[in-house]
């Protein structure tokens, strides 16, 4: 709205100046008696009205918005409260991989009495970016929607009814026979299942957002920290509420 009023005001000011200039040019080539004076009043009014609109848009409207009480204005745009989900990390093993690979999942519980929600879990940032990225591997793209534990595509999410829970696959970690630590599939970009080697002194934080696509509204963020204390074992811990 502000930009529209501002543009209209500038247009009226500019049009008034141009038309007045045209009137003056016509007056110089015509006898004074043949030149009507009413256009001057019209052009001046256009300039004054345009200037008032421009000034109101630039200074008066923003000031009025700043002086609105907290309950006024855009109250309808206030974000709803984060859903009261219980968020829990847990691990599992990949079939036929022995103890080498550890699978990590996030379990989301919808408490009894809370409306059902169509939930999507998305990775929105990794800070800092992992050091060891293959030269042929793309950089991680965001948001990356986690697949469910059952393997369903994460874009569509999953329904979590009141008093029920659902799990999403976060990624795999492993330490090889050579002692090097690795992360697998914490992000999938353009079809590439990304993997990184983790240095003993690296400390990565993966930020996720739980979004209710339908049903109960709201969003909730949490962070997973990936690091090592002994340089051999990868620790995956949830941070935040």
Half-sphere exposure of 228 (CA within 13 A, CB side): 19
Q: Are residues 100 and 150 in the same domain?
A: yes
The kind and range of the H/E element at 198 are strand 192-198
Residues in the chain: 241
Determine the pLDDT at residue 81. 76
Residue 181 has phi, psi (to 5 degrees) of -100, 140
* Residue 59 pLDDT: 55
Which residues neighbour 38 within 8 Å (Cβ) at sequence distance 6 or greater? none
Do residues 33 and 52 share a domain?
yes
CB 168 within 8 A of CB 154: yes
Which tens digits make up the pLDDT trace of 110-126? 999 888 899 999 999 99
C-alpha 206/C-alpha 186 separation (Å) is 9
Task: Assess whether 100 and 212 both reside in one domain.
Answer: yes
- Determine the pLDDT at residue 160: 94
- Asked if 108 and 135 sit in the same domain, the reply is yes
- Do 104 and 15 reside in the same domain of the chain? no
pTM > 0.75: yes or no: no
* Residue 1 in this model has a pLDDT that exceeds 90: no
Identify the DSSP state of 66.
Answer: H
Same domain, 148 and 110: yes
Number of domains into which the chain is organized: 2
> H or E stretch including 219?
strand 219-227
Report pLDDT digits (tens) over 61-83.
Answer: 445 444 445 544 444 456 667 78
pLDDT digits (tens, 9 = 90+) for 104-113: 999 999 999 8
Q: Are 223 and 208 in contact (CB under 8 A)?
A: yes
Q: From start to end of 75-175, where are the E strands?
A: 86-93, 101-109, 117-127, 144-145, 158-160, 165-175
- The residue ranking higher by pLDDT, 27 or 179, is 179
Confidence of residue 171 (pLDDT cuts 50, 70, 90): very high
SS3 32: helix
Boundary residue ending a domain (77, 103, 120): 77
List, in sequence order, every residue forming a beta bridge with 123; answer none if it has no partner: 144, 208
In the prediction, which pLDDT does 76 show? Answer: 46
Are 103 and 195 in the same domain?
yes
Among 31-45, 93-107, 202-216, 225-239, the minimum mean pLDDT is found in 31-45
Q: How confident is the model at residue 6 (pLDDT cuts 50, 70, 90)?
A: low
70 shares a domain with 94: no
Q: Return the minimum-mean-pLDDT range out of 6-10, 70-74, 154-158, 234-238.
A: 70-74
Q: What percent of the chain has pLDDT over 90?
A: 45
Tens of pLDDT, residue by residue over 173-222, are 999 989 999 999 999 988 888 999 999 999 999 999 999 887 667 788 99
Q: Using a CB cutoff of 8 Å and minimum separation of 24, what contacts does 40-45 make?
A: 43/16, 43/17, 43/19, 44/16, 44/20, 45/16
Question: Of the residues 36, 53, 77, which one is the last residue of a structural domain?
Answer: 77
Q: Which of 239, 209, 241 is nearest to 226 (CA)?
A: 239
Same-domain status, 228 and 135: yes
Residues 133 and 220 in one domain: yes
Mark which of 54, 77, 100 sits at the end of a domain: 77
What does each C-alpha distance from 114 to 61, 79, 110, 122, 127 come to in angstroms? 41, 18, 7, 22, 33
- Mean pLDDT for 2-6 is 56
In this structure, the answer to whether residues 67 and 170 fall within a common structural domain is: no
Rounded to whole angstroms, the Cα distance separating 202 from 132 reads 11
Please indicate, yes or no, whether residues 99 and 57 belong to a single structural domain of this protein.
Answer: no
For residues 217 and 85, give the distance between their C-alpha atoms in angstroms, rounded to a whole number: 12
Range of the domain at 71: 2-77
């Amino acid at each position: 709205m502000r930009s529209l009023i501002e543009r209209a005001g500038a247009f009226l000011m500019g049009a008034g100046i141009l038309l007045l200039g045209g009137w003056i040019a016509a007056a110089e080539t015509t006898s004074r008696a043949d030149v009507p004076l009413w256009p001057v009043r019209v052009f001046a009014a256009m300039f004054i009205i345009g200037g008032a609109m421009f000034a109101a848009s630039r200074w008066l409207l923003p000031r009025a918005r700043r002086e609105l009480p907290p309950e006024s204005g855009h109250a309808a745009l206030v974000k709803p409260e984060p859903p009261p989900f219980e968020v829990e990390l847990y691990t599992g093993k990949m079939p036929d991989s022995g103890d080498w690979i550890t699978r990590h999942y996030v379990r989301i519980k919808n408490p009894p009495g809370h409306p059902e929600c169509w939930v999507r879990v998305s990775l929105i940032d990794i800070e800092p970016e992992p050091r060891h990225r293959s030269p042929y591997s793309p950089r991680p793209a965001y948001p990356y929607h986690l697949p469910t534990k059952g393997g369903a595509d994460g874009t569509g999410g999953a329904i979590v009814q009141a008093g029920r829970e659902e799990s999403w696959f976060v990624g795999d970690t492993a330490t090889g026979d050579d002692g090097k630590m690795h992360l697998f599939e914490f992000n999938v970009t353009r079809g590439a299942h990304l993997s990184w080697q983790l240095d003993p002194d690296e400390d990565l934080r993966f930020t996720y957002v739980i979004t209710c696509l339908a049903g109960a509204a709201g969003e909730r963020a949490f962070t997973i920290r990936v690091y090592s204390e002994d340089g051999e074992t990868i620790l995956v811990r949830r941070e935040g509420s």
